[in-house]
């Protein structure tokens, strides 16, 4: 694939690299462009030849600053689009894709939610009702059809579908590793409320006569093995419990044993604590703890509570040698935050360059379905099926988030456990 543009900018190079999987070259030489065979995209103000796809540019990819953009959506082939121009399609697909994938709008002043995060209600995808779609992927599918006509059957490079189950281990155990005082208080509360069955089970767990209710890890690994799935577990390893960090302390022997067991079979990543966002030196400590116990290099991360802001969060991850981040989604609603279902490099607007950090968007999280969207297990099953199927239809990377304490056999969660098991068995 060759793309003609009178000017080459970091933004243009970046989005061409992302959308066409580094299989396209950009030239400003008309002769080279005209003589080339295969897919030819003319990204300039005038048509050059007949056997090309002509895209008339919007100004965004030729700017070098962040400023409010005039975004007016309209429909094209039953899909929402914006940045209207002329050409073989009525909008600048490169600039529009860049706007969504780079999270341009999140770099502008915005209202934050109760956790200090970018509120999803601010996003164009939410306002225009396409948050549930991997819209950029759908645009590319339509573009492919046009290219096959314009460029005599040439095919766009594409990715392969993959499914990656991921787990946030915020609270590894319900009773184990909680400490004597916390367990006494829990036992007392259950006794006073008349829940003698729970008291009896807690005592069995603490005397190693029964498994901890939150310990579903062997069950998960069995399910993964049956379907040949490679899972990622993100461990919250705050050294002290505070506010939203309610994990089992990493100093506990039960926690160390769990991390070693998981790391022996699956990928482990860090789940940076809430505290580490306020005290930057804590992140390296937490990474070091996971490294020392798992004995594997820690290159994957996902923010606890999906708490992040640009560019600070991602720059910190890069500084600590994190190569893959799995936080691109909302902690308040399910959907495609970047409107894209494939991995992509993070673009740093402050330096106007592509970085080494690879972003892996997720589209579904059980906590969103339960707490935010107020879905039943059956409704969540339908939503999960939808996101899996639409991601598969665009050859995307379907990443979902589950929490181990949502998958127990306790009364309140048994239906969610059954739903997830059924989902995995259908794959």
**Which pairing describes strands 397-403 and 364-365: parallel, antiparallel, or unpaired?**
parallel
Task: State mean pLDDT over 194-202.
Answer: 73
Q: Which of 196, 325, 208 is nearest to 270 (CA)?
A: 325
Count of alpha carbons within 13 angstroms of residue 413, beta-carbon side: 17
pLDDT at 153: 63
Q: Calculate the dihedral angle through the C-alpha atoms of 141, 145, 151, 154, rounding to the nearest 10 degrees.
A: 60
**Which residue blocks in 160-234 are alpha helix, DSSP H?**
180-192, 196-206, 217-227
Backbone angles phi, psi at 76, to 5 degrees: -140, 120
User: For residue 338, what pLDDT is reported?
Assistant: 98
Which is nearest to 254 in space by CA: 235, 267, 270?
235
Entry field: residues in the chain = 427
Secondary structure letter of residue 56 according to DSSP? P
**Residue 374: pLDDT over 70:** yes
What pLDDT shows up at residue 38? Answer: 84
pLDDT higher than threshold 90 for residue 184 = no
Average pLDDT over residues 201-210: 82
Contact in structure between 422 and 382 (CB atoms under 8 Å)? no
Q: E-strand spans in 352-396?
A: 353-359, 364-365
For residue 179, the model assigns a pLDDT of: 67
- Could you tell me how far CA 60 lies from the centroid of its own chain? 25
Are residues 187 and 204 in contact, defined by beta-carbon separation less than 8 angstroms? Answer: no
Tokens of 214: 């939150």
The whole-number average pLDDT for the span 41-46 is 96
Residues 306-325 as b/e (b if ≥16 CB within 10 A, e otherwise) read bbbebbebbbbbbebebebb
What beta strand segments (E) does 213-325 contain?
232-235, 267-270, 300-301, 324-325
- What number is the average pLDDT over the span 350-377? 97
């Amino acid at each position: 694939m060759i793309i003609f543009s009178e000017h080459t900018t970091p933004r243009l190079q970046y989005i061409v690299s992302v959308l066409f999987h580094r299989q396209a070259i950009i030239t400003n030489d008309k002769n080279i462009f005209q003589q080339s065979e295969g897919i030819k995209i003319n990204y300039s103000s005038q048509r050059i030849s007949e056997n090309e796809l002509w895209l008339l540019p919007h100004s965004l990819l030729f700017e070098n600053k962040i400023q409010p953009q005039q975004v007016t959506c309209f429909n094209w082939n039953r899909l929402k689009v914006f940045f209207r121009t002329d050409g073989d399609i009525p909008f600048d697909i490169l600039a529009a894709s860049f706007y969504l994938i780079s999270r341009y709008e999140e770099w502008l002043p915005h209202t934050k939610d109760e956790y200090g995060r970018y509120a999803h209600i601010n996003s164009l995808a939410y306002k225009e009702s396409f948050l549930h779609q991997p819209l950029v992927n759908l645009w590319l599918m339509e573009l492919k059809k046009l290219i096959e006509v314009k460029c005599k059957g040439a095919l766009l490079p594409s990715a392969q579908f993959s499914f990656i189950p991921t787990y946030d281990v915020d609270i590894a155990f319900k009773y184990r590793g909680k400490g004597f005082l916390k367990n006494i208080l829990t036992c007392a509360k259950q006794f006073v409320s008349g829940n003698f069955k729970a008291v009896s089970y807690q005592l069995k767990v603490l005397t190693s006569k029964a498994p901890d209710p939150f310990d579903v890890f062997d069950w998960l690994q069995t399910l993964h093995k049956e379907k040949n799935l490679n899972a990622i577990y993100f461990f919250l390893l705050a050294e002290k419990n505070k506010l939203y960090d309610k994990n089992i302390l990493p100093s506990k022997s039960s926690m160390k044993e769990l991390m070693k067991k998981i790391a022996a079979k699956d990928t482990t990543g860090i789940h940076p604590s809430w505290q580490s966002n306020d005290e930057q030196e804590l992140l390296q400590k937490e990474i070091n703890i996971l490294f020392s116990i798992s004995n594997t290099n820690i290159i994957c991360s996902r923010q606890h509570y999906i708490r992040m802001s640009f560019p600070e969060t991602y720059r910190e991850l890069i500084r600590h040698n994190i190569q893959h981040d799995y936080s691109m989604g909302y902690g308040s609603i399910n959907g495609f935050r970047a409107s894209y279902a494939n991995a992509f490099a993070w673009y740093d607007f402050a330096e106007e360059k592509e970085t080494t950090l690879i972003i892996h968007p997720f589209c579904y999280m059980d906590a969103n379905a339960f707490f935010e969207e107020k879905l039943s297990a059956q409704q969540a099953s339908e939503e999960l099926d939808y996101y899996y199927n639409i991601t598969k239809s665009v050859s995307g990377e379907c990443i979902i988030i589950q929490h181990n304490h949502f998958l127990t056999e306790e009364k309140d969660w048994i239906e969610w456990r059954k739903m997830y098991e059924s989902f995995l068995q259908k794959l």
